Structure 1
């Protein structure tokens, strides 16, 4: 089944934006580390970018259900282009400081929930239900190829040439992505304007739906742990690369690119694995792989071994994303999907600042290997606790979910 012109234009816009994000991802930690080697402060740059979910995550879901989703995407990217451009000018001028870096990350993070929720939900507006796994798989593949595989090594290399060049390319990517989405801004339907709209009531509808759906609630709580672990992994990774693996600055980008290799494999194999195995096997298997890989980071700080663990981590993370996102898109009614997605992701993303800062302080009081071991064990325990609940609720859920558990879902 064809995915259609509108999907591919939106996919291209996302790919352009992902490329800029990847370049920034490879360069920003190096920029922070060039100013200070204190892991507490370096980890704050990761935490600052996630605070927006705490403050605006729920409200963004209401707005995504009220507004045309494509319009939300291009307007947010246009604003981000301006912010990123100002920051790039400061870096190129040699005026960047840690406070400016943190403020920029905070402001970009405040806009992220609106774009991320709209981009996740808009798939059901432009793709037939039977093609959702494939569409989500392609989305994850572009994210990993450009944001993780190509972008970070390029960003690290460009940072060596000029500290401001990666930041400038990120701003350009936001602007180009905004322009592309603008060309298909009417691909998603305009939302119905209910005369009695009330922010509190609309928020409550999303919260109640998620809380009463036991399977989604269980996955949301597990994702909270996963996001905290993931943020902790990333927040001190640049220091782990420099001081534990003793790699050059470009090594940070290499390791992220290796992670992306596993992720791309996960993106393309996830639809097949979804058909072959049930939902429980898919979700729990992905979590176990990621947990073991994280523990390896802490136990065996040898580059060849860590590279293999990075592939495992990328594979497991993307496998989980494709399966869980598609499951949520199929379960939740379209008119509630923005709000439920916002609640789901906001609850999960609340753990990201905690995980990032916690990993930084744990590394400061112990060493750079201990947080990885502790985070991996935490995720493994959470998975073991959640697995029976997931299996029970999948069996008790709707026919579509039960069929998927039996390995027959499309």
Structure 2
């Protein structure tokens, strides 16, 4: 994947800069030609000599260095790059890029490059959660930049929370996804994501713990690989990925209608949404008051089974379903695979650490129509998304040859 690729790694001034040294080593080991750009503050944490030794190339620090540069440095780096990775990315740098500012070598290189850019933010949890920072990150995502989320843990400042730089292996895997070929060009991929909400009254609803992260990762990966992506999403707190069409829904009935209206356009369907099985028979027009008597009885009725309905339509279209289980993973997933007429089902035990709801990783078992099943190791949802697209393409290839 990285053999012969030019990777520019930008290192900002933060305590996590020491992890960038291992990241450089991993990229070099994977076959990349690595150029390191350091901000002035980054050099306060790790010496340029460290990165020069690991990359085998001079380290770039100064915007104007006429003694070393025959070319205009930031333009040369920007033109050569097949990929830029900023690790750690500080709130300051993200804010500068989002505002169109370029006042040092790293920010000017980012402004000039046409290569994919992956930011790996690392900062104090309060800085990360600050609405100003979140706005800046959302702006860059909308413009097509890529982010790998920081992880939760004990931070160098003493705080506990989300802000730690992901492990270098996770950053490498996310970067790998950005260099995937456009092997889905000409394909339309329909993805469902997130939970549904089934309203009880104007202020209460039935739902589940789905965050939508897996579905959004699949949608973003398919778009990176050239597909036209239709994303039907229940309510989430995630920034919208850059896809051809984003279709927001709330209830299972709304999701069913949206999917059935658009499925005719799709050659692949990934049903990653966690759709509520039941909804209240009656929705109160006003808030149900607690009162002093017995609790009200909530009567439920079944929601439409979207996956089963798609399975009845399934012909040349690939249909991939998901099964979140708490026990008898293989037995339950195999039964669902057969009952819903799926090509592939992605099953995970949500009680396992690193595989539950609202986390950045997953551990899944793949069950195929022909009886095969394969357990994958824990990996980021970004990496898993690309793996699932690889599997879908392989199934499609086997069909065409069969």
TM-score normalised by length of structure 1: 0.26
Higher strand share goes to which structure? 2
Higher helix share goes to which structure? 1
**Which structure ranks higher in relative contact order (CA pairs < 8 Å, sequence separation ≥ 6)?**
1
